[in-house]
Amino acid sequence: MAHTASPQPVTINPAPALVGRIRVPGDKSISHRSLMLAALAVGESRVEGLLEGEDVLATAAAMRAMGADIARGADGIWRIHGVGVGGLLQPQAALDMGNSGTSTRLLIGLVASHPITATFVGDASLSARPMQRVIAPLSLMGADFTPSPGGRLPLMVRGLAPAVPITYTLPVASAQVKSAVLLAGLNTPGITRVIEPVATRDHSERMLAGFGAVLSVEQTPEGRLISITGEAELKPQSIVVPGDPSSAAFWLVAASIVPGSDVVVENVGMNPTRNGIVNALRLMGADITEIDARDVGGEPVADLRVRHAALKGIEVPRELAPSMIDEYPALFVAAAFAEGRTVARGADELRVKESDRIAVMKDALIANGVSLIEHEDGLSIDGTGGEAIPGGARIASKLDHRIAMSMAIAGLHARAPVMIDDAAPVRTSFPTFFALLDALGGSVTWS
């Protein structure tokens, strides 16, 4: 599953107006969690709209390796027969997580409270990402870890059953760390508690409750307190996965910056812990309209119509960071076309994603003629006031799907084509990205 294929260079040519209706893949966060929880339920769960990118397929493969029966039907619906909480089997080989940090951290949490040993491996990008943030709380619960230097992959975890319930206050805002502890708590006697001083995406809480776990959320002076009662019995579910707001973000930015554009992105998840990019773009003056707002499987969903608009530079509210951390690269692109300066800070987490997204986006934007200042926790970007950026450079995606897609969007309104050294990582989260770009009127040349 690791990204080892030959690089796929691509050139993005300046585009006329982008026009049309598109549907983005299913939400990646919800897709991961639906497979994991269905694999722990007793009976058959059905998942419709699952993101079939490499990251989610890595999760499916890992759950199969630990005993779950997971298959995709000819109708596109995934059917999962789970093993029950506490029923995970010893995997016979290392679990290859490819490029997926979410899969890795959440599955480490699952394994931590089961009496099995699992080794996690991944590609070069994932192997450079720190795992200490989940090792620390899960060690308190009794799991034993043998990581590579720096707390990285390859990593072996020996689970403990029964594990020890803990109350853990998150030192950094991280839905992955919160989820890892809650998932470990599923098979831990007693009540496991997580306190998050800064609220993060709440898909795990919603889905755990939907599958029947005894879970409560309350506000305390210290922050959100999430409590889960262990030795849970999960019930199979039918899930319809909404469109991924992180994938929709690229089209919201693209239609905003390319003159004459009018695009409808259908079925976008509008969970308030995930839609910070919509709020930030609206603060910049983006023309984004919600159509047919509805609720699907406990998650708010809407179709989003976005039309070209004159964007203005803003100071992005820091409190938006947890609800749009993956969308900052796309936001940086929007800022490059705004009038005046956009200051986007409070995003330290970008330094430890698939790449150092602050440094890599800085280099890519500067190479294509954008003026900016790098900060430890973000960028200050001077926009063109709606004019095309110079473009013309070849940028390094650094095995990071969001870098490749963000710079592809930037190339749509550039005076000269923008070249990306390797678009292959886009398959991890958005296999249809370039096909949709063509369908809307963009022009892509493969080298």
Is 96 annotated in the active site? no
CA geometry: angle 287, 292, 295, nearest 5 deg: 120
Structure-token pair, residue 20: 């049309």
Euclidean distance between CA atoms 122 and 355, whole angstroms: 14
SS3 at position 49: coil
**Alpha-carbon dihedral sign for residues 44, 49, 52, 55:** negative
Q: Which residues are annotated as a binding site for 3-phosphoshikimate?
A: 28-29, 33, 174, 176, 326, 353
For residue 177, what are the CA distances in angstroms to 53, 122, 173? 22, 19, 8
Note whether 177 and 130 are within 8 A (CB): no
Structure-token pair, residue 147: 């990581």
Going across the sheet that includes 144-148, the strands are 95-96, 117-121, 152-158, 144-148
Integer-rounded Cα radius of gyration of the chain: 21
Structure-token pair, residue 241: 């996965």
Note whether 35 and 80 are within 8 A (CB): yes
- Out of 27, 55, 96, 326, pick the active-site residue: 326
Q: Which residues are annotated as a binding site for phosphoenolpyruvate?
A: 28, 101, 129, 176, 357, 402
Q: Where are the beta strands (DSSP E) in 297-350?
A: 299-307, 341-344
Q: Note the residue count of the chain.
A: 447
Structure-token pair, residue 253: 């930015």
**Alpha-carbon dihedral sign for residues 50, 55, 61, 65:** negative
**Cβ atoms within 10 Å, residue 149:** 5
Euclidean distance between CA atoms 388 and 371, whole angstroms: 13
Residues annotated catalytic, as ranges: 326
